[in-house]
A = this chain, B = another copy of it.
Amino acid sequence: MDPQQQPSEPMAVVLARVPDGVPTPEDFRVEHVARGPLADGQVRVAVRSLSLDPYQRSTLGGRHLGDAPVGPGDVPPGRSVGEVLESQFPGIAVGQHVLAETGWRSEAVVGGAGVTPVSVPDGVPLSAALGALGMPGLTAYAAHVRQLRPSAGETVVIGSATGGVGAVAGQLARLAGARTVGIVGSEEKAKLADGPLGYDVVVRRGPGLADELAEACPDGIDAYLHLGDQETLDVVMERLAIGARVSLCGLMDQYNGSAPTRLRAGAVMAARAEVVGMVVFDHADLSAEHVARVGELLASGELVSLEDRYAGLDQTPAAFARLMGGQNVGKVVVDLD
């Protein structure tokens, strides 16, 4: 750190090198950056909590739909909740809480049109606007309402039971009266899935999955939210019930550069399954309904939000490496002072 720079100067995480497979903390560095001027129409935001999400991995080196590729020296994209420090945009006031595309920064200058005022119900932390009330929550809500459509008594399997999307989707399915089966990758996650998240059955990813799933889903799987790897998908596809709905929500190959995930077409036919792709931007029209409904469930405590919180921007690289290595428990958030 340059001793000539003021501690109040903004900081950013930049890409040091394009990761090979799962990112490591060494793929990034944290730097002080100059505080830029504020032009007309712009807003300066102090980041309170930064959201880390798997899609960010695929921008590193450049693969993700619609996002600019991030090369060495660039700041990865990222959404934050924060407080408005200065505003040159009508309708956005100093002190307001907003959601903004800030990238991995402590402070950012952003176009006012891209800034969304947020409010969360009493007793719910502001960072919920990044998780259960934010993009992962909307992904889960839209998948639940439009794709999985579980009815009471049906069996719903969630590919990544404790993640930012899966945890919300699993709880929504349970609240709709479905039997929920959560797939997890560790003992620590199994405890969360079994405990606060309230899954009916928890099964472990890996070589024993087929047997565990056969026991957990004797009448087959009516709906499956896929967030995970090829092996899990293969096992689930062979246990679909007739008329099953499969939502492809997160593919490991899209993020870590592994071999393309593929589905056995015969399994789709045998189950007369409906397989669809979930891209959250297609479901922005559900946003108000999502915030109202999930906000209510969070405030009442019927739905819990699991957050994997890190303190300080300099923890971002390690937090991201844990996320992409599948070690996070819940939505990954970096809190800044």
Contact = CB atoms under 8 A, between A and B. Distances in A.
A254 interface: yes
A265 B263 contact: yes
Given A263-B263, A264-B262, A278 B269 contact: yes
Q: Which of A65, A268, A271, A274 has the most chain B CB within a 10 Å cutoff?
A: A268
B264 A272 contact: no
A272 B277 contact: yes
A266 interface: yes
A94 B261 CA distance: 57
A276 interface: yes
A270 to B, nearest CB: 7
A271 B65 CA distance: 11
Contacts of A269: 248, 251, 254, 277-279
Interface in A232-279: 233, 248, 251, 253-254, 260-266, 268-279
Contact of A270 (B65, B226, B265, B274): B65
B268 A263 contact: yes
A229 to B, nearest CB: 11
A277 B271 contact: yes
A261 B272 contact: no
A268 B276 contact: yes
Nearest to A246: B275
Copy count, this protein chain: 2
B274 A265 contact: no
Contacts of A265: 226, 233, 248, 251, 253, 260-263, 277
A216 to B, nearest CB: 23
Nearest to A249: B269
Nearest to A277: B269
A282 interface: yes
Contact of A274 (B65, B274, B279): B274
A272 B146 CA distance: 13
Nearest to A244: B277
Contact of A275 (B253, B274, B279, B282): B274
A2 to B, nearest CB: 43
A233 B269 CA distance: 14
Nearest to A268: B277
B266 A253 contact: yes
Given A248-B265, A253-B266, A269-B279, 17 more contacts: A248-B269, A251-B269, A253-B265, A261-B264, A261-B265, A261-B266, A262-B262, A263-B263, A263-B275, A265-B277, A268-B277, A269-B278, A272-B276, A272-B282, A274-B275, A274-B276, A275-B275
19 contacts: A226-B265, A233-B265, A248-B265, A248-B269, A251-B265, A251-B266, A251-B269, A254-B266, A263-B263, A263-B265, A268-B276, A269-B278, A270-B277, A272-B276, A272-B279, A272-B282, A273-B276, A274-B274, A274-B276
